[in-house]
Amino acid sequence: MTSNFTTFPTQPDLLHLILGAVLFITLVMLMVVARRKSPPNAEASQVQTEVVVPAPAPAPAPAPEFKAATPDAALQLLALLQQNARLIDFFQEDLKGFSDADVGAAARVVHEGGKKTLKDYFRLEPIRSESEESRVTLTAGFNAAEVRLTGNVTGQAPFTGTLIHRGWKAAEVRLPKIAEGHDVSVIAAAEVEL
């Protein structure tokens, strides 16, 4: 894996990277959109619920409350990913006409910088420690926000099934503080060399 780019098309890795990143950025974008549109449209709030708010308890709530995500943190993260991983540059390009070696070289920039960014600003932990494809049992009262049941979902806990994905959880977020009045919508300043 470390050596030669002409043999690079280990497609799944690259695709995963790109797809994962696309999904991630879509979510970030949607959060921004959700904030900007008022009133929040149903689709965006739906996404938000999945990402941010744990499933509400079945209490007789008067009206469901949604908090709007602030765009500041989202834009700040985009700026960091652009700065460290050139993420926006990468997504804004049309991959057509480029060889996998070219895409691979660029993917390394994105991967290296993205990984550093995640490491610097988040402490990410898998939700389940078991290895994937192994059998796991969920006892009654498991956290439904952390573990999602899929497939043949019937009966009562305990549930036994195959762990498809271990999940990820941000155990800690330490994003830089932003000065009041700093224009966060500038994701990357234009650069003019004199």
Partner 1 sequence: MSKASKANLPRFLVGIDLGTTNCVLSYTAHPDTESDVLPVAGDPPAALEMLLIPQLTQPGSVEEKSQLPSFLYQAHESELTEEDTRLPWGASASSLTGGIARFLGAKTPIRLVSSAKSWLCHADVDCREPILPLGSPDDVARISPYEATRRYLDYLKAAWNHRFPESPLEQQDVVITVPASFDPAARDLTVDAARETGLEKLTLLEEPQAAVYHWLHACGNDWRKQVGPGDIILVVDVGGGTTDLSLVAVTDTEGNLELNRIAVGDHILLGGDNMDLALAYRLKAKLAADGKDLQPWQIQAMVHHCRDAKEALLNDPNLQAVPIVVPSRGSKLLGNTLRTELTHSEVQETLVDGFFPQTPVDEHPRALIRRALTQLSLPFAQDPAISRHLAAFLSRQVNAANEVLGREERGFIKPTAVLFNGGVLKANMLADRLMTIINGWLSEASAEPAKQLTGIDLDLAVARGAAYYNAVRRGKGVRIRGGIASAYYVGIESAMPAIPGMEAPLEALCVAPFGMEEGTHAAVSQQELGLVVGEPVRFKFFGSKSRRLDTSGTLLDYWDPEELEALPEIQATLTDEARKPGTVVPVTLEARVSELGTLCLEAVARDGQKRWQVEFDVRN
Binding site for partner 1 (CB under 8 A): 2-3, 5, 76, 79, 83, 86, 89-90, 92-93, 95, 98, 102-103, 105-106, 108-109, 112, 174, 176-183, 191, 193
> Which SS3 state, helix, strand or coil, does residue 9 take?
coil
**C-beta separation of 100 from 14 below 8 A:** yes
- Residue 84's SS3 state is helix
Taking the complex as a whole, the smallest distance from the CB of residue 84 to partner 1 amounts, in Å, to 10
Three-state DSSP class for residue 4: coil
Taking the CA atoms of the chain, what radius of gyration do you get in angstroms?
20
Least distance from C-beta 192 to partner 1, angstroms?
11
- Cα separations (Å) of 176 from 114, 123, 179? 16, 14, 10
Nearest distance from C-beta of residue 26 to partner 1, angstroms: 20
To 10 degrees, the CA torsion angle through 55, 56, 58, 61?
Answer: -160
Residue closer to partner 1 by CB (options 106, 147) is 106
Angstrom distance (rounded) from CA 122 to CA 173: 5
Nearest-angstrom CA–CA distance, 110 and 93: 13
The smaller minimum CB distance to partner 1, of residues 2 and 139, is found at 2
Q: Which is nearer to partner 1, 73 or 127 (CB)?
A: 73
Q: Which is nearer to partner 1, 106 or 127 (CB)?
A: 106
Q: Measured from the CB atom, is 29 or 95 closer to partner 1?
A: 95
We find the least distance from the C-beta atom of residue 69 to partner 1, in angstroms, to be 19
Query: Shortest Cβ distance from residue 188 to partner 1 (Å)?
Result: 8
